[in-house]
Amino acid sequence: MEKEEFKALIQQYRWLLPSANKFYDWPSGWDEIVVQLVKDLQEEICPPNYVQLVQIKEKYGQLRILFHEGTDSMKGKIKATEERSLTICQKCGADDAKSFTKGHRCYTLCSDCIQNEEKID
């Protein structure tokens, strides 16, 4: 996600995304599912429902979302988005991704991106 697009997202959903940019760093292929999660969670936020996404990142080839508070429904949406990231290519956003390990790094990549990774060596 481009820096300006991300700033606009934070501005629009400032109660949900309170932190500075350094806490939100995920591969661009997952932009769509992250933005959809933010929109879905925003719909549920009203007193007493409350959640803050503290950190969004990639870890071991999967989207990881750290948060405070939230209803069971919100927690379920966050967990579902993390699980969904295991089938979405983190580089291009294709919907047929699989886990891929190169050296000591784990990725979730589609077959085209896996071939491109293998050509790097």
Beta bridge partners of 58: 63
Name the residue type at position 89: C
Q: How far apart are CA 52 and CA 44, in angstroms?
A: 12
Percent of the chain scoring above 70 in pLDDT: 77
Q: Which is more confidently placed, 116 or 110?
A: 110
Contact 19, 68 (CB under 8 A): no
- Read off the pTM: 0.80
* Token pair belonging to 103: 């050296």
Burial 18-40 (b: 16+ CB within 10 A, else e): eeeeeebebbebbbebbeebbee
List all residues 6 or more positions away from 27 whose beta carbon is below 8 Å from its beta carbon. Answer: 58, 90, 91
pLDDT digits (tens, 9 = 90+) for 41-78: 888 776 666 787 888 899 999 999 988 888 889 899 99
Looking at every residue in the chain, the average pLDDT score rounds to 82
Secondary structure (3-state) at 16: coil
